[in-house]
Amino acid sequence: MHPKYSEKLRDPRWQKMRLKVLERDEWTCQYCGDTESTLAIHHKYYIAGNEPWDYPLEALVTICANCHEAEYQDRPGAEQSLLKAFRAAGFMSYDLERMAAGIQQLLSDMFDRLKRPV
Domains of the chain, residue spans: 5-115
- Categorize the per-residue pLDDT at 37 as very low, low, confident or very high, splitting at 50, 70 and 90: very high
Q: Are 96 and 59 in contact (CB under 8 A)?
A: no
Hey, which of 21-25, 81-85, 106-110 has the most confident mean pLDDT?
A: 21-25
pLDDT at 118: 46
Mean pLDDT throughout 86-102?
90
1 pLDDT band, cuts 50/70/90, is low
The whole-model pTM stands at 0.72
Lowest-confidence region among 2-11, 24-33, 50-59: 2-11
Give the Cα separation of 45 and 31 in Å (integer). Answer: 16
Surface-to-core class of residue 44, CB atoms within 10 Å of its CB (0-12 exposed, 13-18 middle, 19+ buried): exposed
What does the alpha-carbon distance between residue 99 and residue 85 come to, in Å, rounded to a whole number?
Answer: 14
pLDDT at 100: 86
pLDDT attached to residue 27: 98
